[in-house]
Amino acid sequence: MKVIVIGAGAAGLMAAGQAGAAGASVTALEKNDIPGKKLLITGKGRCNITNMETMSQFIGHLPGNGQFLYSCLARFDNNGLVRFFNELGLETKVERGGRVFPKSDRAGDVVNTLVHFCRSNGVEFEYSAPVDSIKTVDRHVVSVKLRDGREFDCDSAIIATGGASYPGTGSTGDGYEMAEKLGHTVIPVKPALVPLVTREDWVMELQGLSLKNVEVAAYAGDKKLTSEFGEMLFTHFGVSGPIILTVSRGIAPYLENDGKVLLKINLKPALSPEQLDARIQRDFSTFARKQYRNALGELLPKSLIPVAVRLSGIPGDKPVHQVTREERQGLATLLRALPLTVTGMRPLKEAIVTAGGVSVKEINPKTMESRLVKGLYLAGEVVDVDGYTGGYNLQAAFSMGYVAGINAAGAAAGGDLPPVGTCPSPY
């Protein structure tokens, strides 16, 4: 019995290996010349494979149809994934926020482990093998055709081609087109986790500056949309980094409707207004004989000082002992709410994750099989599921791949499908 897996990324590698382990003859078709190309760059090359939160918390961090994954996660959750890698010899570690990484901090080790798992279960790989189409007879998959004309007969096929972000890694939306040709509805794709473009020119002066342990809150008028605590980065166009990417998911609807969004960066979230004012007074007392611009070295990163001086409205050459109480309190307010006006999002090709994809209403959540085409399975970012940064998206891909692989092999063999989780699903 033959299973074809289209795509050798996170979902595809997991699906191929599980299908092989379940007894199917599996061929993985990858358009790149290597497997796991996008996996290699995730988490800054460290690969944040999952997050150790409880499942209810986990689902809450998948704002894009997270409830669809109840059955998949009940079958193969974060504990199961960690155990899977550990048993294959890949040691893992848990960092701040429950994020799980390989102990080696090398994404390549994750890819190599998955490829070894596949090969040990008889999976054959075809590289530089872009797919042209999936053929069906009487709404049942019968073969997969490559662009070079070669055709692979199969009993079932799994689309695991990824989304449309980082097209240089091969995620160019091919899977959406394949699914549409077979009658599936594709929810319009848009960037889900993406850097933000801001109006203020001064961000260019801070290009490359990374801030840790800050809080960013987003507002539409007086309405607070979302906030995140952690690390961010200034760029030549605006802001990026983990908490900015997460914030982008929450403000996207407002930006799409031409709404105006203001970011307020709290540079000192651990201090109350009174504590911050006292801290500034201590620094000013220490540097009483210096000019204002030279008295902020203990409070701010060097590159941020000129910007803070200008935005505070206090002359940089003003002696510190002449700074008034109102000016000092104005500085404290600025440091707790450094304002940035969001004018847009970076393009889809720069998104970490895409929102949109094949409609979950047309996929059986217990098996990941298409409700429209027998023997067609879908897994990973090609499905309309997306989450925040922190390991949620990779876990979603692995869980979908796990369930799709096992069930595709079961369907091909014509036997009873393995039991799936009993966790309720609204789909």
* Residue 249 and residue 122 share a domain: no
- What count of Cα atoms within 13 Å lies in the side-chain half-sphere of residue 79? 5
pLDDT score at 172: 81
Q: What CATH number has the domain bearing residue 389? A: 3.50.50.60
Q: Tell whether 427 is covered by a domain.
A: no
Q: What's the mean pLDDT when you consider all of the chain?
A: 93
Give the domain CATH number at 209. Answer: 1.10.8.100
Establish if 155 belongs to a structural domain. Answer: yes
Q: Are residues 252 and 378 in the same domain?
A: no
Specify the pLDDT at position 1: 86
- Residue 152 has, within 13 A of its CA and on its CB side, a CA count of 28
Q: Is the dihedral of CA 246, 247, 251, 255 positive or negative?
A: negative
What are the tens digits of pLDDT across the range 241-294? 999 999 999 898 888 887 789 999 999 999 999 999 999 999 999 999 999 999
Confidence at residue 427, expressed as pLDDT on a 0 to 100 scale:
35
In a domain, 425, yes or no: no
**132 lies in the same domain as 15:** yes
351 or 267: whose pLDDT is higher?
267
Q: Do 184 and 200 have their domain in common?
A: no
Return the pLDDT at 255.
87
Q: What is the pLDDT of residue 256?
A: 82
| pLDDT tens readout for residues 142-170 | 999 999 999 999 999 999 999 887 777 77
Among candidate residues 345, 362, 396, the one where a domain is terminated: 345
Q: Is residue 426 part of a domain?
A: no
Confidence of residue 411 (pLDDT cuts 50, 70, 90): low
Q: Evaluate whether 141 touches 135 at the Cβ level (below 8 Å).
A: yes
Which structure tokens are listed for 60?
């809450």
Regarding whether 356 and 334 lie in a shared domain, the answer is: no
Specify if 419 maps to a domain.
no
Is the predicted pLDDT of residue 62 greater than 60, yes or no? yes
Whether residues 201 and 184 share a domain: the answer is: no
d(CA 398, CA 62): 14
Number of structural domains in the chain:
2
What whole-number distance in Å separates Cα of residue 401 and Cα of residue 159?
A: 10
Q: Tell whether 165 and 230 lie within a shared domain.
A: no
pLDDT for 60: 94
Residues 35 and 130 grouped into a single domain: yes
Asked whether residue 88 is assigned to any structural domain, the reply reads: yes
pLDDT at position 206 is 97
H/E run at residue 25: strand 25-29
Whole-number Å distance between alpha carbons of 127 and 28: 8
Inside any domain, residue 357? yes
Question: Between residues 173 and 300, which one has the greater pLDDT?
Answer: 300
Residues 63 and 147 in one domain: yes
Which amino acid is it at 198?
A: T
Mark which of 304, 328, 345 sits at the end of a domain.
345
- Report the C-alpha dihedral over residues 283, 286, 287, 288, rounded to 10 degrees: 110
Q: Cα–Cα distance between 283 and 115 in angstroms, integer? A: 56
Residue 33 belongs to a domain: yes
Strand pairing report for 25-29 and 2-6: parallel
Phi, psi of 401 (to 5 degrees): -65, -40
How many whole angstroms separate alpha carbon 133 and alpha carbon 137? 13
Whether residues 171 and 24 share a domain: the answer is yes
Same domain, 215 and 291: yes
Show which of 307, 323, 345 is a domain's final residue: 345
Are residue 200 and residue 324 in the same domain, yes or no? yes
Question: How confident is the model over 111-117, as a mean pLDDT?
Answer: 98
Residue numbers of the domain that contains 156: 2-190+352-413
Tokens for 265, please give them: 């960066």
Which pTM does this prediction carry? 0.88
